Amino acid sequence: MATGHTAELRVLRPEDWDKWYGNLIRAFSGVPEPDEERELWDSLTEHDRSLGAWDGDECVGTAGAFSFRVTVPGGASVPAAGVTGVSVAATHRRRGILTSMMRRQLDDVRSWGEPLAVLTASEPEIYGRFGYGAASFQLGAEIDTGRVRLAVPPGTDDVRLRYAAPADVLEACEAVYAHVVPRRPGMLARRPGWERLGLLDPESAREGASPLQCVVASRDGGTTGFARFRVRLGWGPAGHDGTVILKDLYALDPATEAALWRFLFGIDLTTTLVVNGRPVDEAWQYQVSDIRRCRMRLRDQGHVRLVDVGAALQARTYQAPVDVVFEVEDAFCPWNAGRWRLSGDAKGASCARTSDAADLALSARELAEAYLGGVSLAALGAAGRVRELRQGALAEASVGFASTVAPWLPHGF
Ligand SMILES: CC(=O)SCCNC(=O)CCNC(=O)[C@H](O)C(C)(C)COP(=O)(O)OP(=O)(O)OC[C@H]1O[C@@H](n2cnc3c(N)ncnc32)[C@H](O)[C@@H]1OP(=O)(O)O
């Protein structure tokens, strides 16, 4: 590890934002972001929740924490720090600056009374040591729409689709998003200003494709879904072989969802549909005629940290009754360490300290991975990461923690 003078950590002052953001951009290659994006992040930065590490008047470290609310199993919306903008100047790397920022940040989040922290990681290896675990995953696919057919459910033909300029229908699209948020663990309620994320459309992101297009779905006069996407034309030995690139898609009901996917599959002069960051249990994969020609891939998305184990476990529900004592190890947030009794079912839960014998032993990281219901405690047990101390406790907890809807974090921040 390099030595030398340590950096001074302080809360970001608005007038220091340019230097702060400059360090962040440089840590991600130094290629400037398009003005549109820079201006958006400038307006969304919560200065009083952001930290800078300073070496004299040079910013050498950054970390922010948006004030989000995240959906947990059962549908409650729980305060969560959205950890963002983490960087350390390459000149100052590996001398503990990130560790000092994570230390300060988790202490702050605890003092703000937020039981959770969430992030998307540039490299998953960075955050496990601080107690974060990958709790939601995302599906990507490159679908050969020239070959693959979609079998849609009844009612799909009742859905009306129309093109609209994305900005003109933003309000209706945001209303759809707001309806979807409580249905899926891991999703974030929109804060004012964040709706602009959906309209971001810098020229540099297009890579030869069209500006963002939007198709809005409606049934019985009400907006029930939308898709935003780009189209890139192509030409191969067999003629036109263009690509549709999906940016986002939300639907309130299965017929709307199927109508939007059928539309994306069928755009003339295209033979490929590229999608990224989709829920792992999304319906289209069970409607296709040839799953292999969808070339699917799985990736981690939302990393979660239980900042307050008791409050976090109590905030969600459990799909089957659970009554277990966890022996929790938490070296980085020692206030969580020790024994906790969780009693809960589909209606609610309580979680409190106990001196009773432990049923399951694990660290806060395993609890975080299982927290949104997308990672099985039994699977973590099989991996040697959860120890069962009372026979049957692992199966009981695994069934209770599971979510019938896969957790999903649709976008980074
Ligand atoms: C939520 C987000 O914003 S994700 C974005 C994260 N940022 C980036 O990826 C930008 C490029 N990278 C960076 O800016 C820096 O390398 C950082 C922020 C990842 C790490 O900062 P540093 O100050 O060098 O980390 P620090 O010295 O505190 O390292 C702490 C420990 O983590 C390890 N570590 C740090 N970064 C990494 C990494 N990328 N991969 C694996 N291990 C890492 C260190 O080796 C060290 O381990 P040790 O305690 O066993 O010695």
Q: Domain residue spans in the chain? A: 8-135, 138-299, 309-401
**CATH annotation of 309-401:** 3.30.1050.10
118: tokens are 């969430």
Rounded to whole angstroms, the Cα distance separating 152 from 148 reads 13
pLDDT bracket for residue 2 (50, 70, 90): very low
* pLDDT, tens digit (0-9, with 9 covering 90-100), for 98-146: 999 999 999 999 999 999 999 999 999 999 999 999 999 999 999 999 9
In the predicted model, what is the mean pLDDT of residues 372-401? Answer: 98
Say what the pTM is: 0.96
* pLDDT, tens digit (0-9, with 9 covering 90-100), for 184-240: 999 999 999 999 989 999 998 899 999 999 999 999 989 999 999 999 999 999 999
Separation of 95 CA from ligand 1 center, angstroms? 10
CA distances (Å), origin 333, targets 106, 338, 365: 8, 11, 11
Say whether 143 sits in a helix, a strand or coil: strand
In the predicted model, what is the mean pLDDT of residues 33-49? Answer: 95
Of 97, 126, 132, the residue with max ligand 1 atoms within 8 A of its CB, to mutate for a pocket test, comes to: 126
CB atoms within 10 A of CB 222: 11
pLDDT bracket for residue 4 (50, 70, 90): low
Rounded to whole angstroms, the Cα distance separating 185 from 141 reads 22
- Environment class of 142 (CB within 10 Å of its CB; exposed 0-12, middle 13-18, buried 19+): middle
The interaxial angle of helices 17-27 and 35-44, nearest 10 deg, is: 120
Identical fold for domains 8-135 and 309-401, yes or no, is: no
Given a cut of 80, whether residue 3 has pLDDT beyond it is: no
- Residue 184 annotated as part of some ligand binding site: no
Rounded to whole angstroms, the Cα distance separating 377 from 382 reads 9
Provide the ipTM: 0.98
Say whether 1 sits in a helix, a strand or coil: coil
End-to-end CA gap in the chain: 30
Q: Which CATH topology does 8-135 take?
A: Aminopeptidase (3.40.630)
Q: Which CATH topology does 138-299 take?
A: Aminopeptidase (3.40.630)
Q: Which residues line ligand 1 (CB under 6 A)?
A: 27-28, 83-88, 93-99, 119, 121-123, 125-126, 129
Separation of 86 CA from ligand 1 center, angstroms? 9
Q: Is position 177 annotated as part of the catalytic site?
A: no
Here the contacts of 383-387 (C-beta below 8 Å, separation 24 or greater) are: 386/360, 386/361, 386/362, 387/360, 387/361, 387/362
Q: Is position 413 annotated as part of the catalytic site?
A: yes
In the predicted model, what is the mean pLDDT of residues 386-403? Answer: 98
Residue 340 is predicted with a pLDDT of 98
Check if the beta carbon of residue 260 is closer than 8 Å to that of residue 251: yes
| Ligand 1 atom 46 nearest Cα | 94
CB atoms within 10 A of CB 221: 7
